[in-house]
Amino acid sequence: RAIAADLDAPHEKHSLLTGKDVWRQLHVFHGELRELPDRRAHELIGEQARRTPHAVAAVRGELRWTYAELDQRANAVANRLVAAGARPGDVVAVLSDRTLPWVAAILGILKAGLVYLPVDPAYPHSRIAGILRRSGTRLLLAEVPIEPIADVPVLPLEAAGPTIDPQVSVPADAPAYIYFTSGSTGEPKGAVCAHAGMLNHLTAKIDDLGLTEQDAVCQNAPQCFDISLWQVLAPLLVGGRTVLVPPQVILDVEAFVSTLDRERITVLQVVPSYLEVLLGHLDLSPHQRPAPRIVCVTGEAISRSLVARWFGCFPDVPLVNAYGATEVSDDTTHEIMRALPATELVPVGRPVHNVSVYILDSQLALVPFGAPGQIAFAGICVGPGYINDPDRTAAAFVPDPFRPDQRMYLTGDYGRWLPNGHLEFLGRRDEQVKISGMRVEVGEVENTLLRVPGVRSACLVVVPIGTSKRLAAFFTADEPVPDLKRRLADLLPAHMVPSTVHQLDALPLTENGKVDKAALVAAALRAG
């Protein structure tokens, strides 16, 4: 907190930038300018399908769909949705595992000018209902027959329908998708992104990773994590293929490595904690070394030692540190590493094309070049905000001081420019933490604990385990609260459920009366 206050202090000097500083600022703020095609991603994928109808587009296990087959199935989804009464701009939720029909559903929703909202069938029912209600979802596509949830009519994910392209015209600034992330008030918030921001990210991945029709991109991210979207769509824009890897394979690292090998995966993106698991496995079986040609890490800070281990194992395979947020159409900076960086912290890189990065003080003024401050993103990547949530939108999306007709997104992250114009990530301003790369707002878990009958006070702490971390919850209650973990699992997605819960007579306090989190972390470590 003391450091946070320091980093947030207004910078006296910002109005006194010298000419050279201004030039450097202008130079390093912006990614390259790149003109994007005046078409939506699904139209470009449709054009690709006409160019290479027989090429493999999507793979899952033994199942393979060509571009022509995928395009026809996507058209069928689009036509069914229109026939069911969905109108451009309506939200359509998809309750499905990551399967080939799920890929067709994403494309079909976009083709019909609708807004894609993924929901994970493993989520608690109450959370799914809350997400559908908050987003005003119009229709739900479900993999298996179910009753309507939150009064939203259900259509089967797979069914026959006319396969001609519905040719709906979709403006570039129309919303394309919504991802719900953890919200500190106790309610998840739905970040909306537009077609233009999505296409910018997809083309940034294509350019910076050099994607071509030769590539097989691993689709391993959960469907409620926005990186799943580029893993599906970016290869389809260039004639490559997306290879869907089911969760049970990801959990079994040996099976995952075999899949990388068998499917000749060339491009992989994982969170650092999974990269560590992968390297641990490869260390033990050095003979089994599938070599993607490029690997991306994202979602949370990667340690220098893990990067060193990577290059020790794969000296010729570049590692890309990709940084961004759901609110700004996913990754907005890329650091493309071909060797271990010289800096102690692994840089997050340069803004991708058409994206600007500002480092700001508490008054939202620029800090001098190299000084730490809050990272803000501006440009085409900035989404319209949180669905049906004007207050949280207004707090995080504020006018861009350099382009008054546009807005910038305040990340809540600290960072600074390195002398070479690359960005360094310095941590969070608030209590958002990452568990396996997925966002957890401490406040959301604590508020959920407080909703359990009998719980009087609650505190969530992050406990280090090796280079990884887990969540531990401490609470006080009038009486013993049986099965608290199970009750939390009924309310929260699995990655937000604390791995241990501990009932205390009273939460320990520091001298100034705040909950003593350090003491709780120590207690959680002792309890094991």
Residues near ligand ADP (CB under 6 A) are: 181, 225-227, 298-301, 321-326, 330, 348, 411, 413, 425, 428, 434, 439
Closer to ligand ADP by CB, 150 or 336: give it: 336
Any alpha helices (H) in 84-179, and if so which ranges? 100-111, 125-135
- Report CA torsion sign: 210, 212, 218, 220: positive
Contact yes or no for 330/307 (Cβ under 8 A): no
Closer to ligand ADP by CB, 161 or 349: give it: 349
DSSP states of 433-473 as a string? Answer: EEETTEEEEHHHHHHHHHHSTTEEEEEEEEEEETTEEEEEE
Task: Report how far residue 422's alpha carbon sits from residue 107's, in angstroms, rounded to the nearest whole number.
Answer: 35
Closer to ligand ADP by CB, 330 or 361: give it: 330
Closer to ligand ADP by CB, 142 or 296: give it: 296
Closer to ligand ADP by CB, 348 or 359: give it: 348
3-state helix, strand, coil in the chain (%, to 5): 35, 30, 35
Closest contact distance (angstroms) between CB of 270 and ligand ADP is 12
Closer to ligand ADP by CB, 263 or 327: give it: 327
User: Could you tell me the CA-to-CA distances from 199 to 35, 234, 464 in Å, in that order?
Assistant: 11, 9, 37
User: Could you tell me the CA-to-CA distances from 495 to 358, 441, 463, 488 in Å, in that order?
Assistant: 31, 11, 14, 11
From the centroid of its chain, how far is CA 261?
Answer: 26
Closest contact distance (angstroms) between CB of 338 and ligand ADP is 17
Closest contact distance (angstroms) between CB of 299 and ligand ADP is 5
For 273-287, give one letter per residue: b (16+ CB within 10 A) or e.
bbbbbbbeebeeeee
From the centroid of its chain, how far is CA 5?
Answer: 28
Task: Report how far residue 59's alpha carbon sits from residue 44's, in angstroms, rounded to the nearest whole number.
Answer: 20
Closest contact distance (angstroms) between CB of 330 and ligand ADP is 4
Closest contact distance (angstroms) between CB of 142 and ligand ADP is 24
Contacts of 461 (CB under 8 A, 6+ apart): 471, 472, 474, 517, 520, 521, 524
Closer to ligand ADP by CB, 377 or 475: give it: 377
Closest contact distance (angstroms) between CB of 79 and ligand ADP is 31
Closest contact distance (angstroms) between CB of 189 and ligand ADP is 11
Closest contact distance (angstroms) between CB of 185 and ligand ADP is 17
Give the DSSP letter of residue 328.
G
Closer to ligand ADP by CB, 14 or 495: give it: 495
Burial of 384 (0-12, 13-18, 19+ CB in 10 A): middle
